[in-house]
Structure 1
Amino acid sequence: MASGSHNGVSPVHHHPQYYLKDGNITFLVENTLFRVHRYFFDRESQFFVKEFAKAPQEGTSDSSAFRLDKVTTADFANFLWVWYSPSYRRGSQSKDHWLVILELSTTWQFPEIKKLAVDQLQNLDIEPIEKITTYDRYQIDRSLLLPAYKLLCKRAGRMSIEEGEQLKLHTVLGIQEARERAIRSAAEGGCRSPTSADADDEELEKILIDVFSLKGHSTNRQGAPPPAKPEPVPTIKTPKPGVNGATNGNGSSASGSVSKILQLSRVCCVAH
């Protein structure tokens, strides 16, 4: 974050909505000036508190505006919307709108706004793969992913190789293990030719909580990252040696491992 001269560049203009007469901090984003209330930034973000302390005079006028890099004018306006819009309008915003707010609140260390973004995303219909990758990227409480894990376990087809490569390896292995345990559970319950979709919902939740160690996360605040600890990786049986006694080495990439696991799963499924 740094101030910069506006001369000799594209013309600078005031944002039509967020250049406020009673604002007391000015930001420059691309070629647009925003004048808003510093109070929100001081109150909610240690990141901005530190930045303001480095250069006390910056942001006090248009000519000394704080320059915000790596953010677009539209995205910064979306972020400011959280403070300056009526609360009753929050439920009408799109997934992409809240994803922008989630990203910026994480980058700029606004924990309460991050929590708000997560709360709103929880109310939206998001595909399980996208939801899992998003929550992993922003270190959001994994216990909130239980419904997404369930959908992946209960859907008719296994995840594709392309889907698997979007996820972390421990997630792919965890879903595979949960599906296998769900099938065993359904078979033990008397279901003939069971699939993972035949498992009892409550039993499947117990399996997923165990596989992904979600119990320790259930009391965390939404949006807060869980305590740092190694993520448990579900174990899989070591492949039997081939005719010449050789087995796969450890030199393959993570995405290659995911592809092989998914391919092996499909072969096993066909064999049944």
Structure 2
Amino acid sequence: MSESSKATEAALVVGPSDGNGEECSMTPSQAPRRHEKYYIEDRLSIFSVEDCLFKVHRYYLILESPVFKDMFMCPPEAGMLEGESDLRPIVLPDTTRKEFEALLDFLYNRMYNRYPSFSLSKWMDLLTIADRFQFENVRERAIDELTTSEKSMDAVDELLVSVKCRVPQWTIPALSKLVTQPNILETEAAARLPLDILMRVWKTREEYLATYPRGTQAVNTPISNFSSFGSHLAPPAPAKDSAVSAIATDEQPDPIPPLTDASVENKHDMYWFSGPPMATLKVPSGTNLYRVHRYLLERESEYCRTLFSANPAQDPSFIYDLVGCKDSEVEALLGFLYDPPEKMPEQALSKVIDLLTISTRLSLNQTRECALAMLAQRREKMGAVEQIVIAQKHGITSWLEPAYSSIIARAEPLREHEAERLPLSTIVMLTSAREDNLRRTLLLEFEGEDEGETPGSGFGG
């Protein structure tokens, strides 16, 4: 189906609903029920970080961070609704714009499990903010990513982050780098370390150089004995920044004056969402209602953008009908979009097929690529006929030739239960190709026998 025909269809499959969020044409016995997991209520909140405004979904911040959860649970003071207005944003002190951007980039894109633009410094920013606001799953992922690149990390950064973010396994490697590197720290880098730690590092460097004169010990050899550092490098208690601690203890931080100018220039170019954050979905003859974040579908798909544009009044009770989809496919899609991949077990093949089907149907191209990658990992466990069925249905042309060749070259012909899964044209093609292959094989065998005959043999004595 072309994109234009899909868009036309999308505009025709939605209908008005009553105040309870159910289509007026439905009787109570026909009305789908709210899905127990994927009927999500959410709202947008405005944050100010280094004088830049972000308008983002609360859901992602509350889901894994008890700090943000407590923040939004605190009743607002009379006349003060922080986060509801450009002039009264929620200010995040002691947080940099790069840190907040790294957190949002991760939270909004983690389902794809691909972060090609994340540099070492960006993973550092993510670890710092995840530790500060207690995003434990995000923190663990950042530590894993940085640990794989530990040898490339700057020694001072590694040491400071290991203490600040409670990653003790990095402390000894960082100190080893500082002691064994060829040159002493430059003034700018040295200024970042506490003086007592700096003096201990330099003292240990002298001991190291005296023990291992140049030429007897390779530079950057890890040093394991740093007992003289004592408690100076002990990870701090997990107390958070003052603004966060104030939330947890009901102490109010110093009041922050409201912004006087909330112009477009203040607003972040990516993380500023407008319009209703949620959309209610169902499938024809389905049993469930799903309430999901519009952004997750709109950002990938022109089809979904057209679908949502069919509700110009932005009625929050409006229900969008996903024609051609099934409940199992919607659940597979929402599981992919909402469940952190770090904590998900390997998906069953049927669920991956459902994800591929609905992502193709709704033109969710990035999601489709991920589904194809999941399928490719399972390809070796599939039979040739199953590969052909999946490839033909979902347009995976690269799978067809190897699967065809496997069936053409094998000893046994197509079985009846296999043929039942294939279109007749494919069966005819495979049968014809098998016969051609058999004729060529027999011809080669006969030619080999002719070449091996002795003179005088054969007919006519």
TM-score range, shorter chain: 0.5 to 0.7
Distance 2:26 2:321 in 1: 14
Inter-CA distance 71–174: structure 2 relative to 1 (3 Å threshold): closer
Q: Which residue of 2 aligns with 1:102?
A: 356
Matched, 1:71 2:325: yes
1:151 aligns with 2:406: yes
Letter in 1 for 2:403: A
Matches within 5 A, 1:234-249: none
Query: Structure 1 residue 160 and structure 2 residue 415: aligned?
Result: yes
- Residues 387, 399 of structure 2: 8 Å contact kept: no
- Report what 2:34 is aligned to: 14
Deviation string, structure 1 residues 173-200 (Cα, Å, up to 9, x no partner) = 256436744874797599989xxxxxxx
Q: Is the 8 A contact 1:6 1:12 kept in 2?
A: no
- 1:130 aligns with 386
The count of residues paired between Structure 1 and Structure 2 equals 190
Q: Hey, what does 2:375 align to over in structure 1?
A: 121
Matches within 5 A, 1:216-227: none
Please name the residue that 2:336 is paired with.
Answer: 82
Match of 1:197 in 2: none
Q: Relative to 1, partners in 2 of residues 1:47 and 1:99: Cα closer, same or farther, differing over 3 Å? A: same
TM-score between both structures, scaled by the size of structure 2: 0.36
Partner SS, residue 40 of structure 1: helix
1:231 — aligned with what? none
Summarize deviations over 1:89-115 as a string: whole Å, max 9, x none. 667111111111122122211222222
What are structure 2's unaligned runs of at least 5 residues?
1-12, 16-22, 43-276, 450-461
**Alignment counterpart, residue 2 of structure 1, candidates 3, 7, 14:** 14
Asked if structure 1 preserves the Cα contact closer than 8 Å seen for 2:329 and 2:354, the reply is: yes
Query: Does the CA-based 8 Å contact 1:132-1:148 persist in structure 2?
Result: yes
Secondary structure of the structure 2 residue equivalent to 1:50: helix
Q: Secondary structure at the match of 1:92?
A: coil
Q: Point out which structure has higher relative CO (alpha carbons under 8 A, 6+ apart).
A: 2
- 1:204-215 map, 5 Å: none
Do the aligned residues in 2 keep the contact of 1:132 with 1:167 (CA within 8 Å)?
Answer: no
In the TM superposition, what is the alpha-carbon distance from 1:139 to its structure 2 partner? Answer: 2.1
User: Aligned equivalents of 1:74 and 1:179: distance in 2?
Assistant: 41
User: Which digits, 9 at most, give the CA deviation of each residue in 1:10-30, with x for residues without a partner?
Assistant: 254321211222252222343
The runs of 5 or more residues in structure 1 that have no matched partner are 194-272
* 1:38 is the counterpart of 2:50: no
Asked if the contact 1:25–1:35 (Cα under 8 Å) also holds between the matched residues in 2, the reply is yes
Query: Matched residues, percent identical?
Result: 23
Aligned alpha-carbon RMSD (Å): 3.3
